[in-house]
Amino acid sequence: MPKIILLGATSNISKYLIPMLLSETDSELTLFARRATQRLTEYQDNPRITLIDGNWNNQADLDKSISGQDIVYLATGHFIEANENVVSAMKKNQVSRLIVAGGLGIYDEVAGKFGQWNAKMMGDYTGIKKAAAVIDNSGLDYTFLRMSWLYNQDNNLKYQIVPQGEPMKGTQVTRQAIARLITDIVEDPALYKAESIGVVEPNTEWDKPSFY
């Protein structure tokens, strides 16, 4: 049974990811979040789940929690210090497989009118790019998910991978599809290893997402 820790287990993607991992894998899950024991009470009696109250800005919390894990999932890759702390804890504990949920645009790869709209909406990317660089330069077996604009739609699990270096044109993707992708990687940890990948919903190459 692989052991997986979700850092930021109360995130909007984790809402769909946790039940999918429970139903489709035999993984043991550690759910790490601020006040996890209060916010994730529906899982408190599940024998495959451990709840940890922790803060990813606290190195000691991470060091203790990442010890013994096989895969680390980080719910957002936008914070420099948090990324540095996670990378440090993983190296200290000799855990190499990392999946990071991040955003699009860190390589200025968003194309056309959508790229112009995205840049206007996102503003200054300096900090986000520096945070992503921490993962890129970590030496870990990471998969960095450059997700397009997120929305919810039950049973819409469609995703398309855009390799690094190719323009991103797809404007949106569901959180359910991202959960599907992460589960696919958990089931085959060699999938997209040491890659930064764009993730979009097929056939959404518009000027902006449909929900804006």
**pLDDT value of residue 43:** 98
Confidence class for position 54, pLDDT limits 50, 70, 90? very high
The tens digit of pLDDT for each residue in 74-117 reads 999 999 999 999 999 999 999 999 999 999 999 999 989 999 99
Do residues 78 and 134 lie in contact, with contact meaning Cβ atoms separated by under 8 Å? no
Q: Assign residue 26 the CATH number of its domain.
A: 3.40.50.720
A 10 A CB-CB count for 197 gives 18
Q: What angle do CA 47, 82, 108 make, to 5 degrees?
A: 115
| Domain membership flag for residue 88 | yes
**Which domain does 170 fall in, by range?**
3-200
| Domain membership flag for residue 96 | yes
| Domain membership flag for residue 206 | no
| Domain membership flag for residue 33 | yes
| Domain membership flag for residue 25 | yes
**pLDDT value of residue 120:** 94
Confidence class for position 166, pLDDT limits 50, 70, 90? very high
| Gyration radius of the chain over CA positions | 17
**pLDDT value of residue 172:** 98
**pLDDT value of residue 32:** 98
| Domain membership flag for residue 89 | yes
Q: Which of 19, 137, 127, 121 minimizes the C-alpha distance to 76?
A: 127
The tens digit of pLDDT for each residue in 34-43 reads 999 999 999 9
Do residues 118 and 103 lie in contact, with contact meaning Cβ atoms separated by under 8 Å? no
| Domain membership flag for residue 154 | yes
The model's pTM: 0.97
How many domains, in total, are found in the chain?
1
| Domain membership flag for residue 205 | no
**pLDDT value of residue 164:** 96
Q: Which of 94, 99, 95 minimizes the C-alpha distance to 8?
A: 99
Confidence class for position 155, pLDDT limits 50, 70, 90? very high
When pLDDT is averaged across residues 21-44 and rounded to a whole number, the result is 98
